[in-house]
Amino acid sequence: MKRFALVPVFAIAVAGVTMAQPASDPVRGKTVYARCAACHDLNTGATRLGPSLKGIFGRTSGTMPNFNYSQAMKAKAVVWNADTLDAYLAAPAKNIPGNRMAFPPMANAQDRADLIAFLKQSAR
């Protein structure tokens, strides 16, 4: 009996993990990226209001040449990957206090997952 009683608990735990990291859709992520495009070039290296996101995966924060970063962004020295991008976009001001990206928290985890999947494919 005890064994069976554990099954629903396990199912809830799995559902919880799924909700924390939703399956991602890069095609939908392209539409989410429209919110970033005014400030961030994707793959030419050009500076807009913000630094280019060319090669953002694996890049250390604050290291794009020719962009005048805040001290906070340089000092954070975080390596950008799916997890660190997710944490930053969910709460830019809290994640890197003093950084100069004027962007509100992106509360929707699905939006973040889709956007990050799109960036992984396209920000090269």
Residue from 30, 62, 113, 114 in contact with ligand HEC (CB under 6 A): 62
**Which residue stretches of 21-108 are H helix?**
26-33, 71-76, 82-90, 92-95
Name the residue with tokens 């000092």: 75
For residue 56, state whether it binds ligand HEC (rule: CB under 6 A): yes
How many residues at the interface with ligand HEC, by CB under 6 A? 26
3-state class (DSSP) for residue 79: strand
Phi and psi, residue 120, nearest 5°? -60, -40
For residue 70, state whether it binds ligand HEC (rule: CB under 6 A): yes
For residue 117, state whether it binds ligand HEC (rule: CB under 6 A): no
Name the residue with tokens 């962009």: 67
From 4-12, 20-28, 102-110, span contacting ligand HEC (CB under 6 A): 102-110
In whole angstroms, what is the distance from residue 5 CA to residue 36 CA?
47
From 5-13, 20-28, 45-53, span contacting ligand HEC (CB under 6 A): 45-53
From 6-14, 22-30, 97-105, span contacting ligand HEC (CB under 6 A): 97-105
For residue 118, state whether it binds ligand HEC (rule: CB under 6 A): no
115, 32 Cβ separation under 8 angstroms: yes
Tell me the Cα Rg of the chain: 17
Residues forming the site for ligand HEC (CB under 6 A): 35-36, 38-40, 49-51, 56, 61-62, 64, 69-70, 72-73, 80, 85, 89, 99-103, 106, 115
